[in-house]
Amino acid sequence: MRRILATVAVLSTLLASAACTANGSDKRPAGTKVDVGVIAIIDVAPIYLGKAKGFFSKRGIDLNLVQEQGGGPIVKGVLAGKYQFGFSNVTSLMAAEADGAPLKAVASGVASTGRTGRDFSAIVVKDGSKIRSPKDLVGKTIAVNVLKNIGDTTVRQSVRKAGGDAKSLKFEAMPFPTMNGALRSGKVDAIWVVEPQLSEAVTTGAEVLASNFVDTAPDLTVALYFTSKDVIAESPDLVKNFTDAIKESLSYAEQNPDEVRDVVGTYTPINDTVRISMILPNWPQDINRGSLDKVAELGEEDGIFKKTPALDQLLP
């Protein structure tokens, strides 16, 4: 019942906003058009909720959310001026910073729950697979959404932790929504997925092998919202308003899990079983600096970064 009421509330907000615009009764000035690069995963539920709840529009921001496959393309989009802001995993941002890209994080994005077997990210295998431990992944093919990024770095860490050779893994890039089909057909031996694709896989017969984010660092800060230093210099008020709006959105998502479950279905297809089963991540205001130091260390070990990322330059 709470989920149904939450859905009605979200839809009512959207319809009321549309009605005010159509009738000309909303006297607020038109907002500044702001394009934001995101990924169709549970991580970004807060920004979709924030848009529906008016957290951006009340600050003069007309928010347009554009979906990409991973953090790397979003970073490129922000640098090219395609997006004023973006959502990206921390590895993509560190790699860009290490290459000299003028980027700056403005807010936390999403964090691991820190609970093994109950995190929103996992390495998954088919039911009945002979792969019973992460060390059994050696020589096997694992799907990740983007190569040389946070997926393969954290998968490698799960393998290391289990005593396997993390250098002897094969990775194949594919979109999260196609991974479960690739696993079931035998195209890959394992997949790294996050919600809602994690629950989709598990509810159709797959098994969680390891919680790779938990294996990497306690309460891992996984992703951040960011912008370019050009946008900061040219539009400081916009940056402040966006940052305030996203922080309000993160707080709202933490306090309203039923609405999170409902809003995910508005931007990526899920069924009711997945909606109910999804493991929600944490959306803290604070960034776990220690966890990012660990990701930077692993990224260097894996050869992702040309030089040590300057986290003081990247973080707010």
What are the sequence ranges of the domains in the chain?
A: 2-112+219-314, 121-216
CA 154 from centroid of its chain's CA atoms: 14
pLDDT values of the chain reduced to their tens digit, one per residue, 316 residues? 444 434 434 434 443 444 443 343 333 345 899 999 999 999 999 999 999 999 999 999 999 999 998 888 999 999 999 999 999 999 999 999 999 999 999 999 999 999 999 999 999 999 999 999 999 999 999 999 999 999 999 999 999 999 999 999 999 999 999 999 999 999 999 999 999 999 999 999 999 999 999 999 989 999 999 999 999 999 999 999 999 999 999 999 999 999 999 999 999 999 999 999 999 999 999 999 999 999 999 999 999 998 889 999 999 9
Residue 309: how many other CB atoms lie within 10 Å: 25
Compute CA distances 257 → 116, 132, 148, 254, 304, whole Å: 20, 32, 32, 6, 35
- Point out which residues pair with 170 in neighbouring strands: 141
Compute CA distances 228 → 100, 150, 190, 255, whole Å: 12, 21, 35, 30
**pLDDT for 1:** 42
Q: Are 38 and 74 within 8 A, CB to CB?
A: yes
DSSP string, 23-80: HT---SPPPEEEEEEEESSGGGHHHHHHHHHTTTGGGTEEEEEEEESSHHHHHHHHHT
- The angle subtended at Cα 42 by Cα 40 and Cα 46, nearest 5°, is 100
Question: Which CATH topology does 121-216 take?
Answer: D-Maltodextrin-Binding Protein; domain 2 (3.40.190)
Extract long-range pairs of 12-19: CB within 8 Å, 24+ residues apart.
13/52, 13/53, 13/54, 14/52, 17/54, 17/57
Tell which residue, 158, 138, 282, 279, has the closest CA to residue 211. 158
**pLDDT for 30:** 58
CA distance 126 to 211: 16
**pLDDT for 241:** 98
Q: Are 49 and 77 within 8 A, CB to CB?
A: no
DSSP SS3 for 273: helix
Homologous superfamily (CATH) for 2-112+219-314: Periplasmic binding protein-like II (3.40.190.10)
**pLDDT for 121:** 98
**pLDDT for 307:** 86
